[in-house]
């Protein structure tokens, strides 16, 4: 299933994806929160270790479960829907080093196709900050940006790099580049 009205925001942590998502939501667009943050909040609340630095496979599997559920839960078929990250980026990055993608992930990437153009937010040191869930270094954000670019490219998506600009300018940029 390909949902051309489903648009992904991807890139390194702290690059402004969530901020832009909130700005899009304020303008009336449907938006889907990042699965990783929901998993991390739940793990923090329950004392679980399904995190990037803990049980990485469980972390990936929980994000995959939420990602697939989110994809199928959105019933909008025409108006743009914006996702803070998408299922394909669980490939590679969501695995322990050297571990191949599990069959369920491979199937979900094939089944849940988004708009062929993905909005990549490059790492941006001027706005990067740590928070209660984001504890990685800026260098990690740079690495995730590159991994995001590679994984979406390897799954047949075209990357549109979002410029480092004000939130308002970024909103205009994204809306200008929407493709049906």
**For 6-176, CATH number?**
3.40.50.300
Task: Over range 77-104, report the average pLDDT.
Answer: 88
List phi, psi (to 5°) of 121. Answer: -100, 110
Taking the complete model, does pTM exceed 0.85, yes or no? yes
Beta strand segments in the chain, E: 6-11, 30-32, 81-84, 117-121, 158-161
Q: Read off the tokens for 131.
A: 């928070």
CB burial of residue 91 (10 Å; 0-12, 13-18, 19+) = buried
At 95-150, the pLDDT tens digits run: 767 788 999 999 999 999 999 999 999 988 887 676 666 567 778 788 888 999 99
23 to 6, 49, 78, 167: CA distances (angstroms): 17, 32, 20, 7
Residue-averaged pLDDT of the chain: 90
Instruction: Give residue limits of the domains in the chain.
Output: 6-176
């Amino acid at each position: 299933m390909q949902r051309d009205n489903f648009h992904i925001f991807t890139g390194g942590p702290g690059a402004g994806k969530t901020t832009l998502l909130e700005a899009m939501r304020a303008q009336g667009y449907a938006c889907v929160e990042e699965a990783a943050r929901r998993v991390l909040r739940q793990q923090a609340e329950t004392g679980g270790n399904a995190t990037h630095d803990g049980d990485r496979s469980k972390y990936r599997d929980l994000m995959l479960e939420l990602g697939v559920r989110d994809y199928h839960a959105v019933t909008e078929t025409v108006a743009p829907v914006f996702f803070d990250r998408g299922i394909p980026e669980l490939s590679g990055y969501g695995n322990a080093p050297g571990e191949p993608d599990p069959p369920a992930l491979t199937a979900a990437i094939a089944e849940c196709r988004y708009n062929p153009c993905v909005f990549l937010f490059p790492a941006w040191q001027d706005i990067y900050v740590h928070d209660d869930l984001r504890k990685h270094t800026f260098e990690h954000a740079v690495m995730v940006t590159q991994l995001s670019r590679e994984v979406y490219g390897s799954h047949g998506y075209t990357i549109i790099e979002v410029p480092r600009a004000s939130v308002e300018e970024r909103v205009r940029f994204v809306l200008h580049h929407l493709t049906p």
